[in-house]
Protein backbone atom coordinates (compact mmCIF):
# COMPACT_ATOMS: atom_id res chain seq x y z
CA UNK A 1 0.00 0.00 0.00
CA UNK A 2 1.14 3.55 -0.73
CA UNK A 3 0.19 6.77 1.00
CA UNK A 4 0.76 10.29 -0.32
CA UNK A 5 1.27 13.23 2.04
CA UNK A 6 1.70 16.97 1.72
CA UNK A 7 2.71 19.71 4.11
CA UNK A 8 -0.14 21.20 6.21
CA UNK A 9 -0.39 24.84 7.25
CA UNK A 10 -0.10 23.86 10.91
CA UNK A 11 -0.03 20.94 13.35
CA UNK A 12 -2.02 21.00 16.56
CA UNK A 13 -3.88 18.69 18.91
CA UNK A 14 -3.61 16.14 21.71
CA UNK A 15 -2.39 12.61 21.07
CA UNK A 16 -2.99 9.43 23.07
CA UNK A 17 -0.37 6.85 22.19
CA UNK A 18 -0.62 3.07 21.97
CA UNK A 19 0.84 1.30 24.98
CA UNK A 20 4.60 0.83 25.09
CA UNK A 21 5.35 -2.56 23.54
CA UNK A 22 8.41 -3.23 25.74
CA UNK A 23 6.39 -2.72 28.92
CA UNK A 24 3.38 -4.60 27.48
CA UNK A 25 5.47 -7.69 26.77
CA UNK A 26 6.93 -7.70 30.26
CA UNK A 27 3.53 -7.17 31.91
CA UNK A 28 2.13 -10.19 30.08
CA UNK A 29 5.09 -12.50 30.70
CA UNK A 30 5.71 -11.59 34.35
CA UNK A 31 2.02 -11.88 35.28
CA UNK A 32 1.89 -15.26 33.53
CA UNK A 33 4.57 -16.67 35.82
CA UNK A 34 3.46 -14.85 38.99
CA UNK A 35 1.11 -16.15 41.70
CA UNK A 36 -2.20 -14.51 42.55
CA UNK A 37 -5.45 -13.32 41.07
CA UNK A 38 -5.74 -12.64 37.34
CA UNK A 39 -4.01 -9.37 36.41
CA UNK A 40 -5.71 -6.59 34.46
CA UNK A 41 -3.44 -4.99 31.85
CA UNK A 42 -4.86 -1.82 30.28
CA UNK A 43 -3.58 0.07 27.20
CA UNK A 44 -1.70 -3.01 25.99
CA UNK A 45 0.39 -2.38 22.88
CA UNK A 46 -1.35 -2.59 19.52
CA UNK A 47 -0.60 -4.33 16.26
CA UNK A 48 1.34 -7.44 15.31
CA UNK A 49 3.57 -7.40 18.40
CA UNK A 50 0.49 -7.75 20.62
CA UNK A 51 -0.69 -10.73 18.58
CA UNK A 52 2.76 -12.36 18.73
CA UNK A 53 3.26 -12.28 22.50
CA UNK A 54 -0.32 -13.35 23.25
CA UNK A 55 -0.10 -16.21 20.74
CA UNK A 56 3.19 -17.49 22.21
CA UNK A 57 2.00 -17.34 25.82
CA UNK A 58 -1.24 -19.10 24.95
CA UNK A 59 0.87 -21.73 23.19
CA UNK A 60 2.42 -22.75 26.54
CA UNK A 61 -0.88 -22.75 28.44
CA UNK A 62 -1.44 -19.17 29.59
CA UNK A 63 -5.11 -18.14 29.73
CA UNK A 64 -5.53 -14.62 28.32
CA UNK A 65 -8.93 -13.01 27.84
CA UNK A 66 -10.12 -9.57 26.72
CA UNK A 67 -12.93 -7.53 28.23
CA UNK A 68 -14.26 -3.99 28.57
CA UNK A 69 -15.68 -2.04 31.48
CA UNK A 70 -13.94 -3.57 34.48
CA UNK A 71 -13.16 -1.39 37.49
CA UNK A 72 -9.50 -1.11 36.52
CA UNK A 73 -9.76 -0.24 32.82
CA UNK A 74 -13.10 1.68 33.00
CA UNK A 75 -14.39 2.10 29.44
CA UNK A 76 -11.25 0.83 27.76
CA UNK A 77 -10.43 -2.72 26.76
CA UNK A 78 -7.99 -4.60 28.95
CA UNK A 79 -6.32 -7.98 28.92
CA UNK A 80 -6.84 -10.39 31.77
CA UNK A 81 -3.66 -12.45 32.32
CA UNK A 82 -4.10 -15.57 34.43
CA UNK A 83 -1.22 -16.98 36.43
CA UNK A 84 -0.56 -20.32 34.77
CA UNK A 85 1.23 -23.64 34.92
CA UNK A 86 3.18 -23.72 31.68
CA UNK A 87 3.11 -26.82 29.50
CA UNK A 88 5.00 -28.06 26.46
CA UNK A 89 3.62 -26.42 23.32
CA UNK A 90 1.94 -28.71 20.82
CA UNK A 91 3.06 -26.57 17.88
CA UNK A 92 5.94 -24.30 16.92
CA UNK A 93 5.57 -20.96 18.73
CA UNK A 94 5.27 -18.09 16.26
CA UNK A 95 6.84 -14.76 17.28
CA UNK A 96 5.83 -13.12 13.99
CA UNK A 97 7.96 -10.03 13.38
CA UNK A 98 8.62 -9.40 17.08
CA UNK A 99 12.24 -9.62 18.24
CA UNK A 100 11.11 -8.73 21.76
CA UNK A 101 8.75 -11.70 21.81
CA UNK A 102 11.37 -14.15 20.55
CA UNK A 103 14.20 -13.10 22.85
CA UNK A 104 12.11 -12.75 26.01
CA UNK A 105 10.25 -15.98 25.35
CA UNK A 106 13.60 -17.72 24.81
CA UNK A 107 14.59 -16.76 28.35
CA UNK A 108 11.27 -17.98 29.77
CA UNK A 109 11.36 -21.24 27.79
CA UNK A 110 14.97 -21.97 28.78
CA UNK A 111 13.81 -22.30 32.38
CA UNK A 112 10.88 -24.67 31.67
CA UNK A 113 11.30 -28.49 31.92
CA UNK A 114 10.04 -29.22 28.43
CA UNK A 115 10.91 -28.99 24.74
CA UNK A 116 9.83 -26.07 22.57
CA UNK A 117 10.55 -24.48 19.20
CA UNK A 118 10.08 -20.78 18.53
CA UNK A 119 10.26 -19.17 15.11
CA UNK A 120 9.02 -16.07 13.30
CA UNK A 121 8.60 -14.44 9.91
CA UNK A 122 11.33 -14.17 7.27
CA UNK A 123 12.61 -10.88 8.70
CA UNK A 124 12.85 -12.19 12.26
CA UNK A 125 14.54 -15.39 11.10
CA UNK A 126 17.34 -13.26 9.65
CA UNK A 127 17.98 -11.27 12.85
CA UNK A 128 20.85 -12.29 15.19
CA UNK A 129 19.96 -14.52 18.15
CA UNK A 130 23.42 -15.69 19.23
CA UNK A 131 23.69 -13.04 21.95
CA UNK A 132 20.66 -14.46 23.74
CA UNK A 133 21.49 -18.10 23.02
CA UNK A 134 25.03 -17.92 24.50
CA UNK A 135 24.09 -16.99 28.11
CA UNK A 136 21.12 -19.37 28.16
CA UNK A 137 23.41 -22.26 27.17
CA UNK A 138 25.83 -21.20 29.91
CA UNK A 139 22.93 -21.46 32.37
CA UNK A 140 22.39 -25.07 31.32
CA UNK A 141 19.59 -24.87 28.76
CA UNK A 142 20.00 -26.76 25.50
CA UNK A 143 19.37 -24.20 22.76
CA UNK A 144 19.99 -24.84 19.08
CA UNK A 145 19.55 -22.37 16.22
CA UNK A 146 20.41 -22.20 12.55
CA UNK A 147 23.86 -21.18 11.30
CA UNK A 148 25.88 -22.18 14.37
CA UNK A 149 23.32 -21.02 16.92
CA UNK A 150 22.91 -17.57 15.48
CA UNK A 151 19.49 -17.55 13.80
CA UNK A 152 15.93 -18.74 14.44
CA UNK A 153 14.08 -21.05 14.53
CA UNK A 154 15.32 -21.95 18.00
CA UNK A 155 14.78 -25.34 19.61
CA UNK A 156 14.96 -25.25 23.40
CA UNK A 157 15.23 -28.06 25.95
CA UNK A 158 14.87 -26.16 29.20
CA UNK A 159 14.90 -26.65 32.94
CA UNK A 160 17.54 -27.42 35.59
CA UNK A 161 19.35 -24.16 34.94
CA UNK A 162 21.90 -22.51 37.21
CA UNK A 163 22.74 -18.92 37.97
CA UNK A 164 25.74 -17.45 36.18
CA UNK A 165 28.00 -14.42 36.33
CA UNK A 166 27.62 -12.94 32.85
CA UNK A 167 29.24 -9.88 31.31
CA UNK A 168 27.27 -8.72 28.30
CA UNK A 169 29.45 -7.87 25.27
CA UNK A 170 26.85 -5.36 24.01
CA UNK A 171 24.14 -3.50 25.92
CA UNK A 172 20.79 -5.08 25.03
CA UNK A 173 17.60 -4.86 27.06
CA UNK A 174 16.12 -7.87 25.29
CA UNK A 175 19.10 -10.11 26.05
CA UNK A 176 19.32 -8.84 29.62
CA UNK A 177 15.59 -9.46 30.10
CA UNK A 178 15.85 -13.01 28.75
CA UNK A 179 18.57 -13.78 31.30
CA UNK A 180 16.53 -12.20 34.10
CA UNK A 181 13.45 -14.27 33.23
CA UNK A 182 15.50 -17.47 33.22
CA UNK A 183 17.26 -16.42 36.45
CA UNK A 184 13.98 -16.29 38.37
CA UNK A 185 13.91 -20.11 38.08
CA UNK A 186 17.65 -20.80 38.38
CA UNK A 187 19.59 -22.52 41.12
CA UNK A 188 21.63 -19.77 42.79
CA UNK A 189 22.12 -16.10 42.05
CA UNK A 190 22.78 -14.60 38.65
CA UNK A 191 24.88 -11.49 38.14
CA UNK A 192 24.59 -9.56 34.87
CA UNK A 193 27.06 -6.79 34.04
CA UNK A 194 26.26 -4.33 31.25
CA UNK A 195 28.83 -2.28 29.31
CA UNK A 196 26.33 0.61 29.41
CA UNK A 197 22.80 0.96 30.67
CA UNK A 198 20.02 -0.38 28.48
CA UNK A 199 16.31 0.05 29.15
CA UNK A 200 15.42 -1.38 32.56
CA UNK A 201 11.69 -2.16 32.33
CA UNK A 202 12.18 -5.78 33.38
CA UNK A 203 14.10 -4.92 36.54
CA UNK A 204 11.56 -2.27 37.51
CA UNK A 205 8.46 -4.35 36.90
CA UNK A 206 9.81 -7.58 38.36
CA UNK A 207 10.91 -5.70 41.50
CA UNK A 208 7.50 -4.02 41.69
CA UNK A 209 5.92 -7.49 41.60
CA UNK A 210 8.16 -8.84 44.37
CA UNK A 211 11.28 -10.22 42.69
CA UNK A 212 14.58 -10.11 44.56
CA UNK A 213 16.58 -7.96 42.13
CA UNK A 214 19.38 -5.64 43.20
CA UNK A 215 20.97 -3.08 40.89
CA UNK A 216 24.46 -1.80 41.68
CA UNK A 217 25.84 0.58 39.05
CA UNK A 218 26.33 -1.60 35.95
CA UNK A 219 25.47 -4.91 37.64
CA UNK A 220 22.11 -6.58 38.23
CA UNK A 221 21.89 -9.35 40.84
CA UNK A 222 18.92 -11.71 40.59
CA UNK A 223 17.98 -14.18 43.32
CA UNK A 224 15.37 -16.79 42.35
CA UNK A 225 12.07 -15.60 43.73
CA UNK A 226 8.30 -15.80 43.31
CA UNK A 227 6.35 -12.83 41.95
CA UNK A 228 2.82 -11.68 42.76
CA UNK A 229 0.41 -10.69 40.02
CA UNK A 230 -0.27 -6.97 39.57
CA UNK A 231 -2.72 -4.81 37.62
CA UNK A 232 -0.77 -2.57 35.25
CA UNK A 233 -1.70 0.44 33.12
CA UNK A 234 0.78 0.55 30.22
CA UNK A 235 2.13 4.07 29.48
CA UNK A 236 2.42 5.40 25.94
CA UNK A 237 5.44 4.41 23.86
CA UNK A 238 8.26 6.99 23.96
CA UNK A 239 9.50 5.74 20.59
CA UNK A 240 6.15 6.61 19.01
CA UNK A 241 6.01 9.86 20.98
CA UNK A 242 9.29 10.95 19.42
CA UNK A 243 7.61 10.86 16.00
CA UNK A 244 5.10 13.51 17.04
CA UNK A 245 7.65 15.52 19.00
CA UNK A 246 9.88 15.84 15.95
CA UNK A 247 6.93 16.66 13.69
CA UNK A 248 6.08 19.57 15.99
CA UNK A 249 9.65 20.77 16.50
CA UNK A 250 10.42 20.82 12.76
CA UNK A 251 7.16 22.32 11.48
CA UNK A 252 7.12 26.15 11.55
CA UNK A 253 3.61 26.38 13.00
CA UNK A 254 3.02 23.54 15.45
CA UNK A 255 2.00 22.68 19.00
CA UNK A 256 1.26 19.11 20.04
CA UNK A 257 0.54 17.56 23.43
CA UNK A 258 1.33 13.87 23.81
CA UNK A 259 -0.32 12.41 26.90
CA UNK A 260 0.60 9.57 29.25
CA UNK A 261 4.10 8.96 27.87
CA UNK A 262 6.52 6.56 29.54
CA UNK A 263 9.54 8.56 30.72
CA UNK A 264 11.85 5.83 31.95
CA UNK A 265 15.36 7.38 32.17
CA UNK A 266 16.79 4.44 30.23
CA UNK A 267 14.50 5.36 27.31
CA UNK A 268 14.59 9.17 27.21
CA UNK A 269 17.80 9.63 25.24
CA UNK A 270 15.86 11.20 22.38
CA UNK A 271 14.39 13.80 24.76
CA UNK A 272 17.88 14.64 26.06
CA UNK A 273 19.23 14.95 22.51
CA UNK A 274 16.35 17.09 21.30
CA UNK A 275 16.78 19.46 24.25
CA UNK A 276 20.48 19.69 23.39
CA UNK A 277 19.44 20.55 19.83
CA UNK A 278 17.23 23.37 21.11
CA UNK A 279 13.78 21.76 21.04
CA UNK A 280 10.89 23.60 22.71
CA UNK A 281 9.68 20.84 25.03
CA UNK A 282 7.68 20.96 28.26
CA UNK A 283 7.11 17.88 30.41
CA UNK A 284 4.25 18.09 32.88
CA UNK A 285 2.04 15.90 35.07
CA UNK A 286 5.04 13.81 36.14
CA UNK A 287 4.14 10.74 38.17
CA UNK A 288 5.11 7.12 38.93
CA UNK A 289 2.86 4.26 37.83
CA UNK A 290 3.76 0.63 38.51
CA UNK A 291 7.37 1.64 39.08
CA UNK A 292 7.62 3.56 35.78
CA UNK A 293 7.90 7.38 35.40
CA UNK A 294 5.07 8.81 33.28
CA UNK A 295 4.18 12.32 32.10
CA UNK A 296 2.72 14.50 29.34
CA UNK A 297 4.93 16.15 26.70
CA UNK A 298 4.21 19.44 24.94
CA UNK A 299 6.26 20.05 21.79
CA UNK A 300 6.30 23.28 19.76
CA UNK A 301 8.02 24.70 16.68
CA UNK A 302 11.75 25.01 17.35
CA UNK A 303 15.01 26.25 15.86
CA UNK A 304 17.15 23.14 16.06
CA UNK A 305 20.94 22.89 15.78
CA UNK A 306 23.00 19.86 14.79
CA UNK A 307 24.85 17.76 17.33
CA UNK A 308 26.84 14.54 17.76
CA UNK A 309 24.96 11.50 19.02
CA UNK A 310 27.19 8.64 20.14
CA UNK A 311 28.35 6.47 23.01
CA UNK A 312 26.27 5.53 26.03
CA UNK A 313 23.19 7.50 24.96
CA UNK A 314 22.62 5.30 21.88
CA UNK A 315 20.99 2.37 23.78
CA UNK A 316 18.62 4.90 25.39
CA UNK A 317 17.24 6.00 22.01
CA UNK A 318 17.98 3.23 19.52
CA UNK A 319 14.41 3.03 18.17
CA UNK A 320 14.09 6.81 17.93
CA UNK A 321 17.15 7.36 15.72
CA UNK A 322 15.15 7.27 12.45
CA UNK A 323 13.07 10.17 13.78
CA UNK A 324 16.16 12.04 14.97
CA UNK A 325 17.59 11.67 11.46
CA UNK A 326 14.54 13.53 10.13
CA UNK A 327 15.04 16.26 12.75
CA UNK A 328 18.68 16.60 11.66
CA UNK A 329 17.51 17.55 8.14
CA UNK A 330 15.80 20.61 9.65
CA UNK A 331 18.63 21.58 11.99
CA UNK A 332 21.34 24.17 11.50
CA UNK A 333 24.73 22.56 10.89
CA UNK A 334 25.74 18.90 10.88
CA UNK A 335 24.43 16.02 12.95
CA UNK A 336 26.65 12.97 13.46
CA UNK A 337 25.06 9.68 14.52
CA UNK A 338 27.69 7.14 15.57
CA UNK A 339 28.00 3.84 17.48
CA UNK A 340 24.59 2.73 16.19
CA UNK A 341 25.52 -0.39 14.20
CA UNK A 342 22.69 -2.19 16.06
CA UNK A 343 20.31 -0.36 13.71
CA UNK A 344 21.44 -2.62 10.89
CA UNK A 345 19.82 -5.61 12.62
CA UNK A 346 16.31 -4.32 13.19
CA UNK A 347 13.19 -5.00 11.10
CA UNK A 348 15.21 -3.49 8.28
CA UNK A 349 18.75 -2.19 8.03
CA UNK A 350 17.67 1.16 9.44
CA UNK A 351 20.91 2.95 8.60
CA UNK A 352 20.52 2.00 4.95
CA UNK A 353 16.75 2.56 5.00
CA UNK A 354 17.03 6.11 6.35
CA UNK A 355 19.91 6.91 4.02
CA UNK A 356 17.91 5.79 1.00
CA UNK A 357 14.67 7.40 2.15
CA UNK A 358 16.03 10.80 3.11
CA UNK A 359 18.35 10.90 0.09
CA UNK A 360 15.35 10.38 -2.18
CA UNK A 361 13.67 13.41 -0.58
CA UNK A 362 16.71 15.64 -1.13
CA UNK A 363 18.57 15.40 2.19
CA UNK A 364 22.33 15.94 2.38
CA UNK A 365 23.21 12.65 4.05
CA UNK A 366 25.99 10.08 4.07
CA UNK A 367 26.13 6.74 5.88
CA UNK A 368 28.84 4.78 7.66
CA UNK A 369 28.95 1.27 9.08
CA UNK A 370 27.64 2.50 12.42
CA UNK A 371 25.67 5.65 11.65
CA UNK A 372 24.77 8.66 9.56
CA UNK A 373 26.05 12.17 8.93
CA UNK A 374 23.39 14.72 8.00
CA UNK A 375 23.88 18.35 6.98
CA UNK A 376 20.77 20.31 7.83
CA UNK A 377 19.27 22.38 5.01
CA UNK A 378 15.95 23.21 6.72
CA UNK A 379 14.04 21.56 3.89
CA UNK A 380 13.17 18.34 2.11
CA UNK A 381 11.93 18.32 -1.45
CA UNK A 382 9.42 15.48 -1.32
CA UNK A 383 9.27 12.55 -3.73
CA UNK A 384 9.02 8.77 -3.31
CA UNK A 385 10.45 6.62 -0.53
CA UNK A 386 9.82 3.18 0.92
CA UNK A 387 9.36 1.83 4.44
CA UNK A 388 11.09 -1.48 3.57
CA UNK A 389 8.40 -3.14 5.68
CA UNK A 390 9.73 -1.46 8.84
CA UNK A 391 7.22 0.32 11.09
CA UNK A 392 9.76 2.78 12.51
CA UNK A 393 10.93 3.74 9.02
CA UNK A 394 7.33 4.16 7.83
CA UNK A 395 6.55 6.56 10.70
CA UNK A 396 9.79 8.53 10.32
CA UNK A 397 9.22 8.95 6.59
CA UNK A 398 5.62 9.93 7.32
CA UNK A 399 6.89 12.86 9.37
CA UNK A 400 9.41 13.68 6.64
CA UNK A 401 6.51 13.70 4.20
CA UNK A 402 4.44 16.30 6.04
CA UNK A 403 7.55 18.48 6.42
CA UNK A 404 8.57 18.35 2.74
CA UNK A 405 8.00 21.15 0.25
CA UNK A 406 6.06 18.97 -2.19
CA UNK A 407 4.07 15.75 -2.11
CA UNK A 408 5.72 12.64 -0.70
CA UNK A 409 4.61 9.08 -1.42
CA UNK A 410 5.60 6.26 0.94
CA UNK A 411 5.61 2.67 -0.27
CA UNK A 412 4.68 -0.23 2.04
CA UNK A 413 3.00 2.27 4.35
CA UNK A 414 1.02 -0.56 5.96
CA UNK A 415 4.16 -1.43 7.97
CA UNK A 416 2.82 0.82 10.76
CA UNK A 417 0.37 -2.00 11.60
CA UNK A 418 3.20 -3.72 13.47
CA UNK A 419 3.08 -1.26 16.38
CA UNK A 420 0.76 1.68 15.62
CA UNK A 421 -2.25 0.70 13.48
CA UNK A 422 -3.89 4.13 13.79
CA UNK A 423 -0.76 6.09 12.88
CA UNK A 424 -1.95 7.48 9.55
CA UNK A 425 -5.35 8.44 11.00
CA UNK A 426 -3.65 10.23 13.89
CA UNK A 427 -1.31 12.02 11.47
CA UNK A 428 -4.30 13.27 9.51
CA UNK A 429 -6.14 14.39 12.66
CA UNK A 430 -3.45 16.88 13.75
CA UNK A 431 -3.13 18.64 10.38
CA UNK A 432 -4.77 22.02 9.96
397-412 pLDDT, tens digit per residue, is: 999 999 999 999 999 9
Residues 196 and 248 in one domain: no
Q: What is the predicted pLDDT for the residue at 290?
A: 84
Catalytic residues: 319
Q: Looking at the structure, do residues 292 and 373 belong to the same domain, yes or no?
A: yes
Which residue range is the domain that position 51 belongs to? Answer: 21-223
Are 93 and 56 contacting, i.e. CB atoms less than 8 angstroms apart?
A: yes
* Residues 353, 291 share a domain: yes
Q: What is the mean pLDDT of residues 267-289?
A: 96
Let me know if residue 91 belongs to a domain: yes
Q: Measuring CA to CA, which residue among 369, 316, 365, 308 is closest to residue 337?
A: 308
pLDDT tens track for 305-354: 999 999 989 988 999 999 999 999 999 999 999 999 999 999 999 999 99
pTM score > 0.95 for this model? no
3-state secondary structure of 397: helix
- Clarify whether residues 361 and 274 are in a common domain: yes
245 in the same domain as 358: yes
- Inside any domain, residue 339: yes
DSSP 67-119: EE--TTTTTSEEEEEPP------SS-EE-TT-HHHHHHHHHHHHTSSSEEEEE
Total residues belonging to the chain: 432
Residue 48 is assigned to a structural domain of this protein? yes
Q: How many domains does the chain have?
A: 2
Least confident window among 196-205, 221-230, 360-369: 196-205
Residues 324 and 375 in one domain: yes
CA distance 62 to 14: 36
Residue 345, domain CATH: 3.65.10.10
In this structure, the answer to whether residues 131 and 9 fall within a common structural domain is no
The pLDDT, as a whole number, for residue 291 is 86
Residue 202 has pLDDT above 70, yes or no: yes
Which of 223, 245, 268 is the endpoint of a domain? 223
Q: Which residues contact 53 (CB under 8 A, 6 or more apart)?
A: 24, 25, 28, 29, 98, 100, 101, 105
Please indicate, yes or no, if residue 276 is contained in any of the structural domains: yes
User: What are the beta bridge partners of residue 67?
Assistant: 78
Specify whether 78 is located in the same domain as 201: yes
Mean pLDDT of the chain: 95
pLDDT confidence of residue 358:
98
> In this model, does residue 48 exceed pLDDT 90?
no
* Same-domain status, 34 and 109: yes
420 and 352 within one domain:
yes
Q: Is residue 208 part of a domain?
A: yes
pLDDT of res. 84? 86
Q: Is residue 165, in this structure, part of any structural domain at all?
A: yes
**Residue 409 · residue 8 · CB < 8 Å:** no
What is residue 75's predicted lDDT score, i.e. its pLDDT? 63
pLDDT beyond 80 at 73: no
pLDDT of 196 reads 87
What is the band of 233 on the pLDDT scale with cuts at 50, 70, 90? very high
The number of helices, as runs of H, and strands, as runs of E, in the chain is 13, 23
Confidence band, pLDDT 50/70/90 cuts, at residue 258: very high
Give the other-Cβ count within 10 Å of 280's Cβ: 17
Does any domain span residue 230? Answer: no
Question: Does one domain contain both 278 and 341?
Answer: yes
86 and 206 belong to one structural domain: yes
Q: pLDDT tier at 50 (50, 70, 90 boundaries)?
A: very high
| Helix, strand, coil % over all residues of the chain, rounded to 5 | 35, 30, 35
Q: pLDDT per residue over 141-164, tens digit each? A: 999 999 999 999 999 999 999 999
CA angle 332, 335, 340 (to 5 degrees): 160
Asked if 277 and 307 count as a contact pair (C-beta separation under 8 A), the reply is: yes
Phi, psi for 152 (deg, rounded to 5): -80, 160
Quick check: helix, strand or coil at residue 142?
Answer: strand
pLDDT at 408: 98
Last residue of a domain, one of 223, 252, 270: 223
| Among 223, 243, 266, residue at a domain's last position | 223
Residue 359 and residue 88: Cα distance in Å, rounded?
49
What pLDDT shows up at residue 101?
97
Q: Interior CA angle at 50 toward 46 and 55, to 5°?
A: 155
Amino acid sequence: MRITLKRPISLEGEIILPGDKSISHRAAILNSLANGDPAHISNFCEGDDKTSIIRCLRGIGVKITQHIGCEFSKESECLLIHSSEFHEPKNILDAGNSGTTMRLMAGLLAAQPFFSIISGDLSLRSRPMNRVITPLIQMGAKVIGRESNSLAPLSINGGNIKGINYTMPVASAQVKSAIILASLYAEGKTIITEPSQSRDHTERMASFMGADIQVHKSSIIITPSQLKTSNINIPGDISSASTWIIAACCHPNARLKIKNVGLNPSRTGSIDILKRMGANLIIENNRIENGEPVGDIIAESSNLVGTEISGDIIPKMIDEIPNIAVAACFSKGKTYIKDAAELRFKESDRIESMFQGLSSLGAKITHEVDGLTITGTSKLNGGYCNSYGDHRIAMAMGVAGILSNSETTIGSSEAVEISYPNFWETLKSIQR
